Amino acid sequence: LFPRKPKWQNTLVTFRVTNYTPDLEKEDVDRAIHNALKVWSVVTPLKFKRLREGIADIMISFGRREHGDHNPFDGPEGLLAHAYPPGIGIGGDTHFDEDEIWTKDSHAYNLFLVAAHEFGHALGMAHSNDPGSLMYPVYSYTSGFPLSEDDIKGIQELYGPNPDHKKVKPQPEAPKKCDPELSIDAVTELRGEVLIFKDRYFWRVHPQFTEPELALIQSTWPQLPKKVNAAYENSEKDIVIIFSGIRMWALNGYTLVPGYPKYIHTLGLPKSIRKIDAAVYISDTGKTLLFTDEEYWSYNEQSGTMDHGYPRSIKDDFPGMQERDGDEVDEVDAATYKNGYLYLYHENLQYEYSYNRRKVVRMMKANDLLNC
Amino acid sequence: FTKPVPANKTDTWLLGERYLRRFYGMQPGLLGNPKSSDVMTEKIRAMQSFFKLEVTGKLDDNTLEVMKKARCGVPEVAEYN
């Protein structure tokens, strides 16, 4: 929230659109603004009323460079929009940079998302440092309901909850890399970097970066689903395969390979398999292991076929993975392979399995690979 | 994935200065030699801390990358008057 927590004193807040961008149809601008206001009214008792003339609490306009508030925009890119916290006069007013390209989809800048962020300011929200929140100051595209728990906590501190609102599903808060209970969804290398997927996010661990970088999956690859189940790199083919549900995508570098998504069943898996939990390419053998529930499969990358004799039991072939309570681990969340060692992740632990000695030689916290 | 860093050091410094003036209330006219500017270092540290970057007080690649991204124009720390 802003210092001294400015807010509107009435729950009925008026708005007026003073001009339109030529980038979109008027109806599309109106719809984006309507939906952006609704994002906030659905979680608070606030109601919004449109005025066609006169002074409204929130005056909405598109302008370029110096546009009347001595707070100029900067041409294409850079600043996208700004808004003033609740108050008389300019308070609540929301301005969009006309030098940007405004869209209603994931291309360029989505007006609905930017408007929802700005209306957050117009209602009294400052910036958040959670990259998954709507009030994070840097633009990224996301689909679905855009508020995170952090956003909802903020706005409800000002206005309280909506007594009769339908249940909304907020975006979860960004995972904390050094949380001792952190489990991961998938891990893969990509041209020497390590990508670690968790919920809607992924960390990028680069040998030249001192700190892992957190980003939203959808802001890097809008075509990918929000959550990833498994991933592996075939460094010889210079390709990374990403699995989500019954589909898989291929990346060459950070670029999606055309012709995907494909069904995982094209690899030779039976139709009963609906999800791959973990995948890892063993460079020494040219085989990719695909883990599904309590079993795993072996895929021959060279012939493009599944090896005979599979699926096999994870518990039987990778013995020695024990949880704290002594139970044997029979499912894995993620897997990687390096220098003869297979790293199998389950909940907040990783098991270092020696391929030669056929046994678990070390146990570590899953977030060891995030420098924790 | 990573935008290239401007080859010219002055450009980099000006980009950082412009960003910090705009979003971190850095006053114009206070800065002397870039190497000895405590004010700028302090502002860079505040910005790095907000974005959960490594806090170095320097305009390193990760910091510049965030500074170059498209964003909203409301200051993170400056008080609204």
Q: Give the model's pLDDT for residue B32.
A: 56
B53 at the A interface (CB within 8 A)? yes
Q: Give the model's pLDDT for residue A61.
A: 97
Q: Give the model's pLDDT for residue A277.
A: 96
User: Using omega within 30 degrees of 0 as the cis cutoff, is the peptide bond preceding A225 cis?
Assistant: no
Distance between CA atoms of residues A4 and A356, nearest Å: 64
What residue of A is the nearest CA neighbor of B48?
A: A129
> Do residue A211 and residue B62 have CB atoms under 8 angstroms apart?
yes
> Tokens 């006169």 identify what position?
A54
Closest to A190 measured CA to CA, from A247, A281, A254, A243? A254
> Do residue A118 and residue B72 have CB atoms under 8 angstroms apart?
yes
> Tokens 């893969």 identify what position?
A188
Element (H, E) at B40: helix B38-50
What residue of B is the nearest CA neighbor of A116?
A: B72
Radius of gyration of chain A from its Cα atoms, rounded to whole angstroms: 25
Distance between CA atoms of residues A221 and B22, nearest Å: 30
Whether the predicted pLDDT of B58 surpasses 80:
yes
> Do residue A213 and residue B54 have CB atoms under 8 angstroms apart?
no
Exactly one of A98, A100, A118, A233 is catalytic; name it: A118
Q: Give the model's pLDDT for residue B33.
A: 57
Residues of chain A with pLDDT under 70: 165-169, 172, 324-325
> Which chain A residues in 207-226 lie under 8 Å from chain B, judged by CB atoms?
209-211, 213-214, 220
Chain A residue numbers touching B76 (CB-CB < 8 A):
126-127, 137
What are the structure tokens assigned to B2, written together? 């990573």
Lowest mean pLDDT among A120-129, B8-17, B34-43: B34-43
Chain B residue numbers touching A109 (CB-CB < 8 A):
70
Q: Say which residues have a Cβ less than 8 Å from residue B25's Cβ, sequence separation at least 6.
A: B75, B77, B78
> Which chain A residues in 239-258 lie under 8 Å from chain B, judged by CB atoms?
254
B74 at the A interface (CB within 8 A)? yes
Q: Give the model's pLDDT for residue A102.
A: 96
| Nearest beta carbon to residue B74 from set A6, A121, A220 | A121
**Torsion (CA) A170, A4, A92, A161 in degrees, nearest 10:** 30
Q: Give the model's pLDDT for residue B53.
A: 87
Mean pLDDT of chain B: 77
B76 at the A interface (CB within 8 A)? yes
A190-224 b/e with 16+ CB inside 10 Å = b? Answer: beebbbbbbbbbbbbbbeebebbbbbbbbbebbeb
Question: Tell me, what DSSP letter sits at residue A229?
Answer: -
B58 at the A interface (CB within 8 A)? no
A174 at the B interface (CB within 8 A)? no
> Do residue B62 and residue A138 have CB atoms under 8 angstroms apart?
no
Q: How far is B80 from chain A (nearest CA, A)?
A: 8
**E strand intervals along chain B:** 71-72
Q: How far is CA B77 from the centre of its chain?
A: 13
| Nearest beta carbon to residue B74 from set A6, A83, A138 | A83
Q: Is-catalytic flag, A53?
A: no
Contact B50, B42 (CB under 8 A): no
> Do residue B72 and residue A213 have CB atoms under 8 angstroms apart?
no
> Do residue B72 and residue A210 have CB atoms under 8 angstroms apart?
no
B73 at the A interface (CB within 8 A)? yes
- Count of CB pairs separated by less than 8 Å, A with B: 66
